[in-house]
Structure 1
């Protein structure tokens, strides 16, 4: 007895209670509660990348024996959880099909069902990628009544930040129907729908988007911090109450947790929030692409959207960002969609036409990644020029079928001499060349087309794609 406190409880003497307590703390007599656990991206309704070696992973007790059985080949694979409670197994996938199941057995048993095997794409960026039916988009609202398609699956990652790379996300796979589509990226849906209808395989779409974000927050911070130029530019990201502004935090919270999940490629729509740092955007964007490829350990195709014409408050910042994106498109295994002809209101930074944007991204994927016959997808681009009789003769790549004007004369076209004073230009077309002149410019030096914030332009290839805005000079451009 210690001051009236009994040394036994329910007939058990205190030394035995202490022993039981120690056992409980050490887990020696606890039931097997550390069951096999899976990341959210490995779950019911998921789409696995076809004809690939995909990684399955999760957590369990250290040294726990785990068997994995895949129903498409009835093969069983064995692995053992490591000392840090993680486990992984690489398994081969067949050609597209399903539905299938995967059974995981350890101290417990889990069965993941309704699995399809097909093509998986990451769909990321800022608000123009995030826009969905809930935003009031007419093209999505029109699609809702017939949206149900079990061969299109969504994995919508919620907005999350973290200062270090995370191991999981709070999301789940769903099938496409009028409810799930209404809150899913419109661009991603129209991209996936075109792939699914053309390739006749299941398509899995993983959305990770956040309106108002700069590319820095989607880039692993180690890439930015070890590059002096990008490190300085990142300081110019303005803070916002609606989105993060620190390098790497969206990457850490939303994409890093799924980099073990096999994918076919990436579509990206972002740039509006980097118009203030256009001078370093090509360096940043290509570094981001390479960082994603390193994380996924594959040369991912990366197809992105050039930002649309819009009346930014600062002069020429949109034009300079579009130029940086065009320069980025020369990076290996990338492709750029031009949207100058898809904008009905240049005072709205969120163009309503998402159907054609998604379709053009899909045409890039069909033509380049899948080597399928597709609609024309490579926009005509300025290639070179010569001076001939006081005129500049411009040649274009991807214009073998010739150029055409949607209207009487080419708009948003200017020419200058050495004085750097630009005059509205006259022009004529000869196949895939454009002759440009102005009587006031006797010795022309430079031509600009569509090179302003809100220019839409009317110069197209004969296959219907707009010419990419360009300038032939590299003179300083005012942005105040």
Structure 2
């Protein structure tokens, strides 16, 4: 990085630090518990429950549970404390309610702490032991079950679905949306709630359907944390230090906004300016970092609209984001299941337009990262709606991935995945990975498979006629007598119909690495 760029980047970081100092709360005189925890929550089974907050330095925090575990923590000189409690395994069909007691104690300061004054006690009640999933992303993940006047349209069939959302053993949590200059230790405007028609109405549709499917199949309590915000890019959800450490990501995502810092200061209009710019790390500071001590089962992620022209760097960016999250949460290689973007009208009438296809290809590259999975949605896009209303299938497909990969359930959780092709004269036979076709291929509308293309040595693609032959697809094109390359659904708007016997759509692919 050039000296000028380094100075600008450092100036941006310094501004963030100064902003944090200006707004810092003096925790030395305050006993608090993070708002990420509370009554009605689900605690993650088979892991350590971490409870954290603030108190005067040296004060003792005692934690006890009705499942027989106790712990103590001493507040550090920074005014922070963290207690850890072992949580037992959840049992299928066990929805017992538990209590956690947190006691703030003040000691005499003697070495043996013989004189202890109990200052206050807080109890968390109606606690369940199960699995907690963390849902994040931009508007398609944030999209709420019900229509919110002045905000957005509800998901498909929400009028029929919401009255059925009576699941007291599914618990929901979401906090205020927004940004912060520095990482926060707690969240605002949030509390854990039981899932019912009222609470589900304002909750993420994708997360709700995901959690409901897990609950119905596993019969254990499910906790859902939804931290999504519209019109945001992946760099917003990424720790800025991770971006700064990667020269390519720094140049693309940090430097341009650091350069704008002087303008922000000159206008003294921070709020308005920040609202219109995708500043790196600021959503992470407010909506991801505060949960770093929360024990969870895994992540689900639905994002990409704001990065759709970043195909060359998106895999690198998203991988960096995930690595940062896994490091923060410190629970190993947590599962990360994400949604591939649906078709949208960009280049709808141009069969050669494929920049959005390349972005979806970049998303698929994330599957090379350990413990990831991708829900394909090529069959449920809407040409004039970048926020397709069918969130039920999206949530269920994510849940199928989790059931198959995380819970080791015996089910088909992904659609047909390309394996190889062979050429015999002008015929091309496409083969798919074993098991991905389930009981065989089909089309969801009963017509011939759509959006297959063939090209010869001239690298010009032409639409192919496609026929299903068992677990394979046979292709021909009169314009391509000697085919050398195949593409499937590799255009900007290919609303597909090819699926396996379970109704899961085939994954887009191309066999070439050509530029166009």
TM-score over 0.5 for the pair? yes
1:361 counterpart (384, 398, 420): 398
- Mean alpha-carbon deviation: is it higher for 260-269 or for 384-393? 384-393
Return the match for 2:141 from 121, 129, 133.
129
* Map of 1:271 onto structure 2: 304
1:104 equivalenced with 2:102 (yes/no):
yes
**Residue of structure 1 equivalent to 2:385:** 348
Q: Decide whether the 8 Å contact of 1:212 with 1:242 is kept in 2.
A: no
Whole-Å separation in 2 of the counterparts to 1:309 and 1:226: 34
> Of residues 71, 82, 85 in structure 2, which corresponds to 1:77?
71
Counterpart residue number, 2:367: 329
Give me the whole-angstrom Cα distance separating, in 2, the residues matched to 1:145 and 1:125: 26
Separation (CA, whole Å) in 2 of partners of 1:351 and 1:90:
42
1:426-474: CA deviation from partner (whole Å, max 9, x where unpaired): 2333332222222322221111111111111222223322111111111
* 2:252 alignment partner, SS class: helix
Structure 2 equivalent of residue 27 of structure 1: none
1:223 maps to 2:259: no
**Hey, what does 1:452 align to over in structure 2?**
491
1:110-160 CA distances to partner (integer Å, 9 max, x unpaired)? 112111111100011111111111323243332222323221111112112
State the Cα distance separating 1:166 from its structure 2 match: 1.0
1:64 aligns with 59
Does structure 1 residue 46 correspond to structure 2 residue 41? yes
Which of these residues, 273, 279, 300, is aligned with residue 246 of structure 1? 279
Give 2:481's aligned residue. 442
Q: Deviations over 1:162-207 (max 9, x none)?
A: 2221111012111112221111100000111111121111111101
State the partner residue of 2:31: 36
SS in 2 for 1:102: strand
Shift of 1:313: 5.6
Q: Verify: 1:470 aligned to 2:509, yes or no.
A: yes
Aligned residue in 1 for 2:182: 164
Q: Which moved more, 1:160-169 or 1:208-217?
A: 160-169
Deviation at 1:99, TM superposition (A): 1.4
Report if aligned partners of 2:61, 2:83 keep a CA contact under 8 Å in 1. Answer: no
Structure 2 CA distance for aligned equivalents of residues 98 and 53 of structure 1: 19
**How far did residue 242 of structure 1 move?**
5.4
Q: Which residue of 1 aligns with 2:432?
A: 396
Q: Are 2:343 and 1:309 equivalent residues in the alignment?
A: yes
- Paired residue for 2:452, among 413, 424, 445? 413
Partner of 1:174: 193
In terms of Rg, which structure is larger?
A: 1
Cα shift at 1:63: 0.8
Contact 1:233 1:277 in 2 (8 A): no
Aligned-partner Cα distance in 1 for 2:73–2:139: 42
2:322 aligned residue = 289
- Partner Cα separation in structure 2 for residue 394 and residue 229 of structure 1: 37
Give the secondary structure class of the aligned counterpart of 2:413: coil
TM (norm. structure 2) is: 0.81
Distance in 2 between the 1:293 and 1:325 partners?
A: 19
Q: In the comparison of the two structures, how many residue pairs are matched?
A: 443
In 2, distance between residues paired with 1:177 and 1:62?
A: 41
Match 1:200 to one of 203, 219, 225: 219
Q: In the alignment, is the contact (CA less than 8 A) between 1:139 and 1:354 conserved in 2?
A: no
Corresponding residue to 2:418 among 378, 382, 388: 382
The answer to whether the 8 Å contact 1:236/1:277 transfers is no
Higher mean Cα deviation, 224-233 or 414-423? 224-233
Give the equivalent residue in structure 1 for 2:172.
Answer: 154
- In structure 2, C-alpha distance between the alignment counterparts of 1:84 and 1:369, rounded to whole Å: 38
**TM-score, scaled relative to structure 1:** 0.87
Contact 1:67 1:78 in 2 (8 A): yes
Quick one: distance in 2 between partners of 1:82 and 1:363?
Answer: 43
Q: Equivalent residue of 1:90, what SS?
A: strand
* 1:113 aligned onto 2:132: no
Residues 245-270 of structure 1: per-residue CA shift (max 9 Å, x gap): 01111111111011101000011111
Q: Aligned partners of 1:212, 1:360: CA distance in 2, in Å? A: 24
Q: Work out the CA distance in 2 between the residues paired with 1:151 and 1:244.
A: 39
Distance (Å, rounded) in 1 between the aligned partners of 2:501 and 2:376: 16
Mind listing any 5+ residue stretches in structure 2 that lack a counterpart? 1-27, 106-118, 148-152, 261-271
Contact 1:309 1:456 (8 Å CA) reproduced: yes
307-316 or 460-469, which deviates more: 307-316
Q: Please name the residue that 1:87 is paired with.
A: 81
**Does the 8 A contact of 2:174 with 2:226 survive in 1?**
yes
RMSD: 2.2
What is the CA-CA distance between 1:241 and the residue it aligns to? 7.4
Give the Cα–Cα distance (whole angstroms) in 2 for the partners of residues 141 and 69 of structure 1. Answer: 43
Asked if 2 retains the 8 angstrom alpha-carbon contact of 1:43 and 1:112, the reply is yes
Query: 1:379, 1:283 → 2: CA distance?
Result: 25
CA distance in 2, matches of 1:195, 1:174: 18
- 1:232: which partner in 2? 251
Secondary structure at the counterpart of residue 341 of structure 2: coil
**Structure 1 gap segments, 5+ residues each:** 1-32
